[in-house]
Amino acid sequence: MDLKPHRKIIHVDMDAFYASVEQMDNPELRGKPLAVGGGGERGVVAAASYEARKFGVRSAMSGAQAKRNCPDLIFVKPRFSRYKEISGQIREIFHEYTDLVEPLSLDEAYLDVTQNKANIPSASIIATAIRRKIFEKVGLAASAGISNSKFVAKIASDVNKPNGQKTIAPEEVEAFLEELPIEKFFGIGKVTAGKMYLLGIFTGKDLKSKSLEFLKNHFKSSGEHYYHVVRGNHHSDVKPNRIQKSVAAEHTFVKNLTSEIYMMERLETIATELENRLKKSKVAGKTITLKIKYSDFTLQTRSKTLAYFIKDKDILLQTVRELLYQDALKDSVRLLGISVSNLNNTDHKNEKVIDVQLKFEF
C-alpha cells in the first residue's frame, strides 16, 4: 500500500454546532429538542440538536416535516455572526498546535500535526487536548478522527460522536475501510450508495473487489477515486489557505413562483446581493450558474461560461435571464440562486475583468 509515511492528520468536527451554541447561550434550551432554522411552511432546518435527532430531525429537512417528526421541537433563528465568533475562538485553539489548519466550514477543520508546536508525538493525545481545551475555553463538545489521511480522518470523526474520537493507525486503514458500510464513505451520498447496492457493493470490501475498469464504467471519473480511497491511497495535503472556488446567493420564497416575470424580479435582488459579495471578496468569475429548486424539492442547475471575468450585476442578470428562458420550467419554483465560479483568484489574476454598468433591455 502506497502510504505517505509518518503523516498525522486530525479532523475536528463540532457536535451539532449551531444548535449547541444556542443551547449554551440559552440554558432554558438545554436538553430539549431544538432546530436552528425556520419552522414555517417554507422553513428549512439548518441544524438539529441531538435531542431532536432522536426523532429523525435532520439538517436540510423542511421545517414542517421536522415538526411532524417532533411536535415539541423548538425552532430558533440562526445567528451566523455568533457562530462565526465562536468558530474563530476554536480556530485559535487549533493554531496553538499547528499552522497547518484547513477549515471546511465554521464547525470543522483538518489539522496536520505531523510536526506540531507542542512537540507531542501522538496525534491522538493532541486531539484529546484540543477537544478538552475547546470544552474548557468555549464550552462546547467536539469529536475528532485521527489517521494518516484526510479521507480516513473525516470518516473516523463520525465513529464515536458525540464528544468522542477515533484513531485509525496506518496499519489499520485497509481493514477499517473494508468493514465500513459503503454509505459511511465520505463523499458517497444516498443516490450513489443506492446505485452501488444494485451492483452488489455494500461494504468497503465489496468495493475493493471491483476492478478499476468496472468502477470507471459505472461511476465515470468518480470510479477511479473510489478505487484508490478504499485502498487507503488518498494523500491530499492539509491546505491552510483554501482557494475560494465560487461565490453564491440564493433565496427561498414564502410562496412558490409560477411566472418567469416574478422570478426575474427576485433574481435582480439576488444578483445585487451576489455583486456585493463578489466585490467584498475581491474576485470575479467566468461561469454563471442558475439554481432552481422546484416545489417537489428537485433541484436543477443551468450554467454558462463567458469569455471574460465579470462581477457586475447587470451582466449577471443578462446571463441569468438567458438561462431562465433556456428551457421550460417543469413546475412552480420555491428557491432561486445564482453562483459565480471559475474565479480569477488562481491562475488568472492578471486577466481583464469586465466591470462596467451596462444597461440591458428586458
Active-site residues, by number, are 108
- CA-wise closest residue to 77 among 126, 22, 122, 119: 22
Q: Which three cell numbers stand for residue 185?
A: 464513505
- CA-wise closest residue to 24 among 90, 109, 120: 90
With vertex at residue 343, the alpha carbon angle to CA 337 and CA 347, rounded to the nearest 5 degrees, is 165
- CA-wise closest residue to 64 among 82, 45, 48, 46: 45
Contact 127, 144 (CB under 8 A): yes
Q: Which three cell numbers stand for residue 160?
A: 464515536
Sign of CA dihedral 151, 153, 155, 157: negative
> What is the SS3 assignment for 227?
helix
Which residues does 35 contact at the CB level (< 8 Å), separation at least 6? 19, 45, 46, 47, 48, 49, 52, 57, 63, 66, 73, 74, 75, 76
